[in-house]
Amino acid sequence: MDWPLVIKSLLTLGGLGLLLGIILLLAALKLTVRVDEKEIAVRAVLPGANCGACGYPGCDGYARAVASGKAPLNSCTVGGPDVARRLGAIMGKEVSAGEPPVAVLICRGGRAEAGQRFQYQGAKDCRQAALLLGGPKACIYGCVGLGHCASVCPVQAITIGANGLPVIDEKRCIGCGLCVKECPKGTLRLIPRKKLVYLACVSHDRGKAVKDVCSVGCIACGLCVKVCPVGALQMEHNLPVMDFEKCIDCGICVHKCPTKSFLDRAQRRPKAVINDRCNGCGECVKVCLFKAIVSESESATPLAQSKSAGPRAQPGKQHKVIPDRCIGCGQCGKVCAPEAIDLVSTDSG
Amino acid sequence: MNHFSPAKIFLAAFLVNNILLMRFIGLCPFFGVSTALDTSVGMSAAVLFVMLLAAWVSWVLYHTLLLPLGLVFLRTAVFILVIAGLVQFVEMFLKKYVRALYSAMGIYLPLITTNCAILAVTFLNIDYQFNLLQATIFAVGTAAGFALVIILFAAIRERLADAPISPSFRGYPIAFVGAALVALAFLGFTALFGIS
């Protein structure tokens, strides 16, 4: 064996390694950049998958954003609620327990509402049917209704209803999103469990093209965008897109939509009730989009007359809610200066 | 010693013997980062930087240390060691003093450090018997070719992301098909000239 060569190689490589090691050691001592201690702690809690689901470049990026308070604490989908809780402990913030979302069907065109273009006699599978000219449903955007979602649901929360559309048992749904991923038409989506109002149409057509194929499809009239009191809706490609951060679930869009394309998950809505502090200024009348508030003098019901005998600020000018028209959106309460309007939940209906 | 003109070396590295599409070296960053235009620009900058650095250091080391000592067989180990250590040092330096540059190509620097594209340039510089100036031009040309292809390809992939592609082809499969087609187009440059 050529020993001098071996020693020479070892010395060269070892010497280079040692030299670089020393340089890096000195550099580490001299060139350290102080990183926020919180950032290090946050990074230690994160799973380190660098999946990017939080919307930041890797776990490091998310840790930096969390430490500087710019990112929400519950954005890490890999870590889930556990990581969110530990991030909350580091940042000294309360984290909402992070309820799992719930899957909803965003198509209302069942057998009764949307017609069929042809008789489909192939395999009873949405994906196969969807490959054939987009499926047998007249609306090419809509739910095929052969129940692929029901077959993939791990908790059997989905059944196909009498109308040919999947029905989701929200109590059973665990929000895993498997059905959303599997649906070939994209007619399922996950929404926060607390969210009440959502658009139930995926048609990017407009006007007559929708009307021809479905009686409950969004015709892109844009009325919902106009009536939304908080500007949470915007038209994009002929569909209103809802900003869940802004939406207050008032339900105005649900009632104003001419095609009933919005759905409301609320079992029961409260009604506005005007009490004795009302001074008859008329602001609530102006703001109510459903003409549910009238001046008491206009209404001639015996009940109203008997009430007007009581002590009032301006008798005879007070307002009254017509319960059948009120949808309980609560917009009147916001503009009422004397705070005379309460939302009362109606148990008996 | 080689006698290629600087322009010929640059064009050969840039187009004719393009490192990504003709040599098929450095495919991991090519497919890994070419999904969006901004990341591919950052990666290209990091590649240019590291490639130039690596070309110089490896050339000097080879000609002053390995060749005189007769340790040419150690070049792979020595080059990887030195390039990795040097890039680590430069990263620290940038983080401390040139914050803007660091945040522009920060995470790509360590990613590209001992990438095969970098190593390939250092070896080719020696195999082609380039002098230091030629090696510099070759490194810049190769990095420019890398940038050209990865940025072009990022634009293609941004279009592909919105295209109606069948599920089995979505993602990497269609990217590889696209890369093969672009490589075929680059094949046309070989009619110009080449260096070998």
Q: What is the pLDDT of residues A180-231, one digit of tens each?
A: 888 998 899 988 888 889 999 998 888 888 888 888 889 989 899 999 988 8
Judged by CB atoms closer than 8 Å, whether chains meet at B81 and A57 is answered as: no
Residue B192 lies in a domain: no
Q: How many CB atoms lie within 10 A of CB A51?
A: 12
Report if residue B193 sits inside a domain: no
Closest Cβ opposite residue B96 in set A20, A33, A60: A33
**List of chain A residues whose C-beta atoms are within 8 Å of the C-beta of residue B82:** 16, 20
Mean pLDDT of A114-126: 85
Buried b (16+ CB within 10 A) or exposed e, B84-107: bbbbbbbbbebbeeeeeebeebbb
Number of Cβ pairs closer than 8 Å across A and B? 47
Supply the pLDDT for residue B1. 53
- Decide if B19 is inside a domain: no
Whether B111 has a pLDDT exceeding 80, the answer reads no
Q: Give the residue from chain B lying closest to A24, CA to CA.
A: B89
3-class state of residue A151 by DSSP:
helix
Q: With an 8 Å Cβ cutoff, are B92 and A12 in contact?
A: no
A105: pLDDT confidence band, cut at 50, 70 and 90? very high
Q: Which domain holds residue B121?
A: 29-186
Q: Measured in Å, how far apart are chain B's first and last C-alpha atoms?
A: 13
User: Looking at this predicted complex, what is its ipTM?
Assistant: 0.76
- pTM (2 d.p.): 0.50
Tens digits of per-residue pLDDT, A254-300? Answer: 999 998 899 988 878 888 888 888 887 888 888 888 888 887 655 44
Q: Domain for residue B12, yes or no? A: no
Confidence of residue A335 (pLDDT cuts 50, 70, 90): confident
Identify all chain A residues contacting B77, using CB atoms and an 8 Å cutoff: 13
- Is there a contact between A27 and B82 if contact means CB atoms under 8 Å apart? no
Q: Which residue of A has its CA nearest to B75?
A: A13
Report CA torsion sign: B60, B1, B114, A5.
negative
B53, B88, B97: which to substitute to probe chain A, counting the most A Cβ within 10 Å?
A: B88
Taking CB atoms and an 8 Å cutoff, what residues of chain B touch A31?
A: 92-93, 95-96
Cβ-nearest to A16 among B70, B78, B92? B78
Average pLDDT value for chain A: 82
Mean pLDDT to the nearest integer, A323-346: 84
Phi, psi of A189, rounded to the nearest 5 degrees: -150, 160
Task: In whole angstroms, give the CA distance from residue A231 to residue A183.
Answer: 30
Residue B61 inside a domain? The answer is yes
CA-based radius of gyration for chain A:
30
* B111 in a structural domain: yes
Q: Tell me what the mean pLDDT of segment B68-83 comes to.
A: 89
Q: How confident is the model at residue A166 (pLDDT cuts 50, 70, 90)?
A: very high
Domains of chain A as residue ranges with CATH: 38-91 (1.10.15.40), 102-264 (3.30.70.20), 271-344 (3.30.70.20)
Strands A293-295, A271-274: parallel, antiparallel or unpaired by DSSP?
unpaired
Q: Is B97 within a domain?
A: yes
- Residue A308 pLDDT > 70: no
Confidence of residue A124 (pLDDT cuts 50, 70, 90): confident
Sign of torsion over alpha carbons B59, B65, B70, B74: negative
Hunting for tokens 């004397």 — which residue is that? A338
Contact A342, A276 (CB under 8 A): no
Domain contains B40: yes
**Residues of chain B found within 8 Å of residue A17, distances taken between Cβ atoms:** 81
Of B71, B85, B92, the CB nearest to A9: B71
B118 contacts B139 by C-beta, under 8 angstroms: no
Q: Closest Cα of chain B to A167: distance in Å?
A: 27
* Greatest pairwise CA separation for chain B in angstroms: 59
CA distance B71 to chain A (A): 7
Number of domains in chain B: 1
The H or E element containing residue B48 is helix B37-61
